[in-house]
């Protein structure tokens, strides 16, 4: 056992039975292996992306996937959704899309001489917002209430969305023509922004084989019920987080706002704005979910570091000076993590 784990176990609050919690997590997290096995029948490689999708699923946080075309972003989301016995809906974002095409609208019924609600594709458990940056801001903003409040307002009525509800969005990072930048308010509502890279040569060889043999077209049978996901979410909330870990998370987030206070004075002219309180909240939730996936009942500093980039990269604004020096959000996060004291 590492020194980090021993320190956390020794400092646990009275009344917490870590052995019982670990045993419960070990039993109730078995479906994670089933999901991974089911998705691996279709998806080759991309374990990192699938793990991040599971983190969003368990922490009730939306996920934004950014990567070049052909990297299985859409296929991964569809495959994971198929492995869960829940309602899946895909929305292809285009420049001519309207808000009503997403959330629904009021229609007149001549038979009853009254208006009734026609619900849009947002009324599902898993929403694939494909190429979300191809729609204008007024359409993107139609997702804001659903993502934050888990409800949709049509006319004068608000309609609750069925849990589990998760928005999984994709966007192309290099194509600028015909695209619209996501509003900062919407980007901040995504728990994770995951950047997808190329597969290695062996993985791509398997991809070719599976594709030409038709294996990627086989159906994925559901292996998990939505009730299991909701139960797991409640268990994730119970994962123990020591006050030292909470302070560590706060130090990381506050270092993006006031880097000079954490020995990162050189970052001050590079950061336009730092992480919002959602950064702290989501970093804590994602750390708990990461511990759950690793079948632990407590969070360690390594959990925070492992998911920090995905939680923080879209919540830090960089200045023109940083862009001129080719310094990215990831560079800033790496520098902050190296300077902030580890508990």
- Residues facing residue 175 across a β-bridge: none
Residue 13 confidence class, pLDDT cut points 50, 70, 90: very low
278-316, pLDDT tens digit by residue?
Answer: 999 999 999 999 999 988 888 999 999 999 999 999 999
Cβ(24)–Cβ(296) below 8 Å: no
137-196, pLDDT tens digit by residue?
Answer: 888 878 888 888 888 888 788 888 888 888 888 887 766 666 777 777 778 889 999 888
pLDDT at position 14 is 42
57-102, pLDDT tens digit by residue?
Answer: 899 889 998 887 777 777 787 888 888 888 888 888 888 888 888 8
DSSP secondary structure code for residue 266 in this structure: G
pLDDT at position 3 is 56
pLDDT at position 116 is 77
Cβ(124)–Cβ(88) below 8 Å: yes
Residue 264 neighbours by CB distance under 10 Å: 20
Residue 158 neighbours by CB distance under 10 Å: 11
All structural domains of the chain: 1-16+240-343 (1.10.8.80), 42-227 (3.40.50.300)
207-253, pLDDT tens digit by residue?
Answer: 888 778 776 666 778 888 888 888 889 889 888 888 999 999 999 99
pTM of the model: 0.84
Selection from 301, 183, 226, 220 nearest residue 57 by Cα: 226
């Amino acid at each position: 056992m590492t020194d980090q784990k021993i320190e956390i176990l020794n400092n646990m609050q009275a009344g917490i039975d870590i052995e019982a919690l670990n045993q419960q997590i070990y039993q109730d997290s078995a479906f994670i292996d089933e999901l991974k096995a089911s998705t691996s029948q279709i998806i080759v490689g991309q374990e990192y992306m699938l793990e991040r999708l599971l983190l969003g699923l368990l922490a009730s946080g939306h996920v934004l996937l950014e990567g070049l075309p052909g990297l299985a972003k859409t296929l991964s989301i569809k495959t994971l959704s198929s492995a869960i016995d829940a309602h899946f809906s895909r929305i292809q974002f285009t420049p001519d899309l309207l808000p009503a095409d997403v959330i629904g609208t009021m229609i007149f019924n001549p038979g009853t001489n009254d208006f009734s609600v026609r619900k849009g594709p947002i009324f599902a458990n898993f929403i694939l917002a494909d190429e979300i940056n191809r729609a204008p801001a007024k359409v993107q903003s139609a997702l804001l209430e659903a993502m934050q409040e888990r409800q949709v307002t049509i006319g004068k009525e608000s309609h609750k969305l069925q849990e589990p509800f998760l928005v999984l969005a994709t966007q192309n990072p290099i194509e600028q023509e015909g695209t619209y930048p996501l509003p900062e308010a919407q980007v901040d509502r995504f728990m994770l922004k995951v950047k997808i890279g190329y597969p290695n040569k062996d993985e791509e060889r398997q991809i070719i084989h599976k594709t030409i043999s038709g294996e990627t077209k086989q159906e994925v049978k559901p292996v998990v019920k939505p009730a299991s996901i909701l139960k797991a979410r409640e268990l994730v909330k119970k994962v123990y987080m020591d006050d030292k870990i909470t302070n560590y998370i706060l130090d990381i987030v506050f270092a993006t706002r006031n880097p000079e206070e954490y020995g990162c004075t050189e970052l001050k002219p590079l950061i336009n704005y730092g992480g919002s309180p959602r950064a702290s909240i989501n970093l804590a939730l994602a750390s708990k979910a990461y511990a759950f996936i690793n079948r632990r009942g407590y969070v360690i500093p390594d959990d925070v570091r492992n998911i920090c980039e995905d939680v923080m990269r879209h919540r830090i604004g960089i200045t023109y000076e940083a862009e001129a020096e080719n310094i990215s959000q990831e560079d800033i996060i790496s520098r902050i993590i190296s300077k902030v004291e580890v508990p």
